[in-house]
Chains A and B, each alone.
Chain A
Amino acid sequence: MTEEYERTLAAVHELMAARSNGSQVSVTRPNPDTLHFIVERKAMRSVADGLFNQLQARFLISVGTDKRPLSGTFGILHVFSFDRAQLYVLVESLIPEDDPRIDSITPVAPGADWAEREFQDAVGVRPEGHPDPRRLLLPDEWPEGVHPLRRDFPYNFQPPPAKNLRPVMRDAPAGATVLPMGPFFPVLEEPAYWRLFVEGETIVGCDNRLFYNHRGIEKLGDSALTYGEIPFLAERICGICGFIHSTCYCQAVEKAAGIEAPRRARYIRTIMLELERIHSHLLWLGIAGHIIGFETVLMQTWRIREPVMWLCEAISGNRKAYGMNTVGGLRRDLPSDIHPQLLKTLADVEKEVIAVRDAILGDSILRARTEGVGVLTKESARSVCVVGPPARASGVAIDARIDHPYAAYDEVRPRIVTQEAGDTWARVVVRVGELVESIRLVREALSAIPEGPICAETKEEIPPDKVGVSVVEAPRGEAVHFVMTGGDNRPYRWRVRAPTYANLQALPAAVMHGTIADVPITLGSLDPCFSCTERLETVDRRTRTVRTYSSAELLEMSRGKGPSGGVR
């Protein structure tokens, strides 16, 4: 353990003693890199203030847990990270059932805004003093007082439908008009409702309503699925960075249960994670081009991206949703003959990526469109707890691969790209730089990969009441998974925070005083997560036969030479 770690550990203990005023109930160390404090709820805000503002810890996520079957209380737990010291600090308060309130920490740590609104919706513990305690993730027609993450709430419950309910939205400031963006809008591939308050073309404020597609994944994880099934669900959290979520979940369980994944599995995870970063960043570049009307960038980057998808298919059998991860390692090794194809694809992609990088970095109009646009200052990036490329573009040098090394990143060290300007151009530069770096990382991992088993032998059951926090640097930023183990072969609580959750909260600050024309690209430059499907299946209703078209057939049909298209 490093000197920095020891120093931080001492500072945290000292701060906790001073700030909690004797209300500290207990402290445990479930893992070497995790400290778990339980404090009385009256001390929570002061403790969070100390950690976030005095010791400069980073806020990751809040976890609301219904612990009534265990201790008769709700547990509200805030996760902080000391990046340089590679230490997580969990601060938890136990909230009595008859008085579900806790002091909000958002006034001292603005990045906790959504996290606190979320546990208010999901578990029903009210954050007192929250500046904006509106609903976050429950639908508008959801009945009051029904909280889906409580243990007595069945996962398949359907509330009665309600009609004509609208989200509670803020009024536009005097003199401003409202320009709605969404819930369905050309550049938003997912439903999200933004209300822009504009004076002429200038943005003077905005409001939002999101979570139209909330799927209740966490609830399924602690009520319907088992440890071994969850990686498949976790992989489907995101259509792009699926492997990231399954890795992150598996690591969290491994950490909680004290399982060590074999080195070879860790290297293969690294390779797959970096391949995902490569195709995700290429996808993002295309979308960013599309947003500012530069369709050529879209078409070319997606063409370059395609061989990477084929590579993933050759490795796992699927372009996406590889189904490779499991608790303790992997279910599937790299194919023995994949090395030449991998190296060749990497070389081809690298050549084209460098050509695209040079074209983009040399394009003066593209630069004019993005420079000084959507600026996120270092201060606001830190206070809203932005992660990933948007953070690094604002000069916050965080990267989970370095701050909390996982998989094989302790041996395959990434070089991170940072910028100071915090504008959309800086975010372009950071991502393009990462693209080239990821190609190097895959090569390095491939050359250093050891032989050996790919999955740890686990004979005993995973013990209950253990916690594990795991982070993975996704293309969009750091993904966080928190697992508290349970008794019946499934987690008692599984908490997921995707990077977009943190980054989207920065949008209001980034678009303020900009123009309408800059909103889509600013939003796009945060790389909100998209999903896509790629195979078409048709069902003949009369004969009830299913026909799956192959990609060759689809290609033929869409080019007008196939049986149903005909030559035009």
Chain B
Amino acid sequence: MTHELAKALLPCLLNVAIALLLSPLYEGILRKVRAAIHSRIGPPITQPYWDLLKLLGKEDLRSAGGAAYASLPPLTLGSLLLLATLTPMGAAAPLSFAGDMIVVLYVAAMSAVLIMLCGFASGSPYAYVGSSREMMMALSVEPILAIALTVGAFKAGSLALGSMTAFQAHNGPSISMAIAGFAFFLALQAQAGKLPFDIAEADQEIMGGPLVEQSGPRLAFLKWAMWTKQLVLAFLLVEVFLPWPRFGALPIDLLISSIKALVVLLLVAVVDVVNPRLRIDQAMGYFMRVGLASLSALAFAVIGK
């Protein structure tokens, strides 16, 4: 019995550990890249770890009372760790089952909703504006994730992410999956809260939006959650849409996936650095067009391309 439990738990723990430990490192690398493009030296790569450590050790100052305000940041991080256990990382997802794609979409949406609630619970007008922007962004970006994964599901004939990965790895690239993967990448830019889509946080306009009243450990949880989110979604992208090469040995596949995820995030960072921030209406119009264009991937999938 304990053996069974350990066998089920270990892969979950592995994914959670990757998500928690690797995400600050990747953030540190991305900061270095930003700095290089800025002609700056930039902070040490390990800086995000120190940031977290510092914030976790700080006093917990609260602008509002209530259980929701205090508990939402750890819940947000928790929701993303759940997402990590549903995401394949070098091997099939630890919690995979038939139809887990639907659950992935819900859990991804859940983290956005939780951040939004953080804002609404903090009682600041900036956080209200930020949260309503977060909601509008989620409403325009989530459908694109859904369409892209649906293309994969249609090709593989299954709603399980594991089957999609296996099908894609076995059958090689196709037009429909390329379009869907690109749409997923564009959505990732917004999901990771990067420019030109960091509208919900927009430091210079609304001072961090939902984060404005967060400090100390709560801010640490939220920052960690955001870095985890970009990492996990990058893994999802490379596992479902770019699963090659595949050796079948976990350590090697995991290493390759990690490198591919880093490359995806570097691209995200470069787009972030060379763009100014869009206005919310412009971003929604943009994703409306991306959504419509990504429907063409479905059409290609139907005709077998």
Contact = CB atoms under 8 A, between A and B. Distances in A.
A binds B: yes
Interface of A: 177-180, 185-187, 201, 289-297, 299-300, 303, 363, 365-366, 368-369, 515-520, 559-560, 568
B204 A296 contact: no
Contacts of A297: 276
A369 B203 contact: no
B205 interface: yes
Shortest beta-carbon contacts, A-B, top 7: A293-B277, A299-B38, A294-B276, A292-B276, A517-B279, A187-B204, A291-B204
A293 B207 contact: no
Contacts of A295: 34, 38, 273
A297 B276 CA distance: 9
Nearest to A187: B204
B37 interface: yes
B129 A516 contact: yes
A179 B94 CA distance: 46
B205 to A, nearest CB: 5
Contacts of B278: 365, 368-369
A177 B276 contact: no
28 contacts: A179-B125, A179-B126, A180-B125, A185-B207, A186-B207, A187-B204, A187-B205, A290-B204, A291-B204, A293-B195, A293-B198, A293-B203, A293-B275, A293-B277, A294-B275, A294-B276, A295-B38, A299-B39, A300-B39, A303-B39, A363-B276, A365-B276, A515-B279, A515-B280, A516-B205, A517-B199, A517-B202, A520-B205
Most chain A CB within 10 A, of B39, B204, B207, B277, is at B204
Interface string B203-227: 1111100000000000000000000
B289 interface: no
A153 to B, nearest CB: 40
Contact of B273 (A291, A292, A296, A369): A296
Contacts of B38: 295-296, 299-300
A520 B41 CA distance: 28
B276 A366 contact: yes
Contacts of A299: 38-40
Given A293-B276, A300-B38, A517 B205 contact: yes
B125 A289 contact: no
Contacts of A515: 279-281
B44 interface: yes
Given A179-B129, A300-B39, A365 B196 contact: yes
A298 to B, nearest CB: 8
Interface string B100-121: 0000000000000000000000
Interface in B260-296: 273-282
A321 to B, nearest CB: 27
A178 B207 CA distance: 16
Contacts of A516: 129, 205-206
Contacts of A368: 278, 282
Given A296-B37, A560-B44, A520 B125 contact: no
A178 B205 CA distance: 15
Nearest to B273: A296
Contacts of A303: 39
B44 A517 contact: no
Contact of A365 (B37, B199, B275): B275
Contacts of B277: 292-294, 369, 517
B258 to A, nearest CB: 25
A369 B276 CA distance: 8
A363 B280 CA distance: 19
Contact of B203 (A186, A296, A517, A518): A186
A179 B38 CA distance: 33
Given A187-B204, A292-B277, A293-B277, A177 B37 contact: no
A294 B202 CA distance: 11
B76 to A, nearest CB: 23
Most chain B CB within 10 A, of A187, A290, A292, A303, is at A292
Most chain B CB within 10 A, of A291, A297, A516, is at A516
A518 B279 contact: yes
Contacts of A559: 41
Contacts of A187: 204-205
Contacts of A363: 276
A515 B199 CA distance: 13
B214 to A, nearest CB: 16
A514 to B, nearest CB: 10
Nearest to A298: B38
Given A294-B275, A299-B38, A559-B41, A201 B205 contact: no
Contacts of B195: 293-294
Contacts of A517: 199, 202, 205, 277, 279-280
A201 B40 CA distance: 35
Contacts of A179: 125-126, 129
Most chain A CB within 10 A, of B203, B205, B206, is at B205
Given A293-B195, A293-B276, A365-B276, A186 B37 contact: no
